[in-house]
């Protein structure tokens, strides 16, 4: 386990002011890249359509022109898919599964764990999703990790369970990295509130899954039971809404529940208070012998 000195700050290198602005700027950059990609694809498609109509320097019959256009568009589509695949796991490199079979992001031996109960169709969870990741990524010496637990809300069904099962079934073939990639992808694309998104059927191809195995997994009662286990644990932990995060000090056993999409600084305050509390409880050093 990574040691954290009593009284030492876990976030000394982090300026908590302006975090929301930085996260919003990052999201804006992602949207801009996506829009630019759509614009490029549309312009190239239009160019080839014009060539097909006029002959535009492509020698051969109408069939040759049509084949050339189709091949070009297929190539563009494959390039676009390759770019999407490259982004799926970006930033989700340090992942694992703990002894209870739950997915962990960050150092598996971290002193602090954020046990996060989420619903993939919850709009507040969608808004909150980058916060625990940032808490893990910026903590000194790998002192914080993040454990996911499903907690599907009844008024988001049946889409909430479909989303949870999708993430679990991607993980069945791609491991913990697939799980975190799939949850992140879902949050980026869903409309939320049980509406999902139009292109759900493309997920097996996007993640390069065996489609037959994926479809079988989506009906697997063991996967349903895995989700139910998380929800039962949430009920035991007093969870009645999402997101809810249980901050656990794995060294002292201290726990604190944080309800809602609290800002980054609120979590830092709780973690730092736990470190300080341990320092204050520590026995004073014995006086040196003369």
- How far apart (Å, rounded) are the C-alpha atoms in residues 178 and 193? 24
Residue 245 CA to its chain's centroid (Å): 15
pLDDT tens profile 28-86: 554 554 555 455 445 545 545 554 555 544 455 666 666 766 666 666 667 778 788 88
In this structure, are 125 and 61 located in the same domain? no
Mean pLDDT of 175-189: 97
Instruction: Give the pTM.
Output: 0.73
DSSP β-ladder status, 255-259 and 103-105: unpaired
In this structure, are 104 and 234 located in the same domain? yes
Question: What are the percentages of helix, strand and coil residues in the chain, rounded to 5?
Answer: 55, 10, 35
Domain extent, residue 132, equals 95-280
Strands (E), the chain: 95-97, 103-105, 112-118, 144-150, 244-249, 255-259
Handedness of CA 29, 32, 37, 38 (dihedral sign): positive
pLDDT band at 17 (very low <50, low <70, confident <90, very high): very low
Domain end among 62, 87, 112: 87
Q: Backbone dihedral region of 217: left (phi > 0), alpha (psi from -120 to 50 degrees) or beta?
A: alpha
Burial (CB count within 10 angstroms: exposed 0-12, middle 13-18, buried 19+), residue 83: exposed
Domain end among 37, 66, 87: 87
Q: Where are the alpha helices (DSSP H) in 101-158?
A: 123-128, 130-138
pLDDT score at 282: 59
Residue whose C-alpha is closest to residue 126's, from 176, 179, 34, 190: 190
Residues 6+ apart with CB under 8 A from 52: 65, 66, 69
Residue 274: inside a domain:
yes
**DSSP assignment letter at 37:** H
In this structure, are 99 and 128 located in the same domain? yes
In this structure, are 160 and 257 located in the same domain? yes
**For residues 289 and 178, which has the higher predicted lDDT (pLDDT)?**
178
In this structure, are 197 and 76 located in the same domain? no
**For residues 149 and 50, which has the higher predicted lDDT (pLDDT)?**
149
Residue 90 has pLDDT above 70, yes or no: yes
> Cα angle at 183 between 136 and 255, to 5 degrees?
45
- How far apart (Å, rounded) are the C-alpha atoms in residues 32 and 26? 10
Residue 228 has pLDDT above 70, yes or no: yes
- How far apart (Å, rounded) are the C-alpha atoms in residues 180 and 95? 8
Residue 47: inside a domain:
yes
- How far apart (Å, rounded) are the C-alpha atoms in residues 97 and 88? 19
């Amino acid at each position: 386990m990574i040691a954290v000195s009593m009284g030492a700050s876990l976030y000394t290198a982090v300026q908590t002011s302006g975090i929301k602005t930085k996260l919003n700027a990052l999201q804006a950059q992602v949207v801009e890249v996506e829009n630019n990609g759509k614009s490029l694809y549309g312009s190239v498609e239009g160019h080839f359509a014009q060539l097909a109509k006029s002959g535009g320097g492509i020698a051969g019959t109408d069939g040759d022109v049509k084949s050339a256009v189709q091949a070009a568009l297929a190539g563009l589509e494959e390039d676009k898919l390759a770019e999407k695949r490259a982004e799926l796991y970006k930033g989700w490199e340090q992942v694992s599964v703990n002894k209870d079979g739950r997915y962990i992001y960050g150092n598996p031996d971290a002193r602090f764990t954020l046990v996060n109960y989420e619903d993939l169709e919850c709009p507040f969870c969608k808004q909150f999703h980058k916060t625990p990741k940032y808490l893990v990524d910026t903590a000194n010496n790998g002192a914080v990790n993040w454990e996911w637990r499903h907690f599907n809300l009844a008024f988001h069904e049946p889409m909430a369970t479909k989303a949870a099962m999708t993430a679990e079934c991607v993980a069945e073939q791609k491991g913990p990295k697939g799980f975190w990639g799939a949850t992140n992808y879902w949050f980026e694309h869903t409309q939320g509130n049980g509406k999902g998104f139009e292109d759900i059927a493309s997920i097996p191809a996007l993640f390069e899954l065996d489609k037959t195995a994926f479809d079988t997994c989506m009906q697997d009662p063991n996967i349903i039971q895995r989700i139910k286990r998380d929800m039962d644990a949430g009920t035991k932990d007093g969870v009645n809404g999402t997101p809810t995060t249980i901050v656990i000090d794995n060294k002292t056993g201290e726990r604190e529940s944080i309800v809602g999409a609290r800002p980054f600084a609120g979590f830092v305050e709780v973690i730092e208070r736990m470190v300080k509390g341990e320092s204050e409880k520590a026995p004073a050093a014995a006086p040196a012998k003369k």
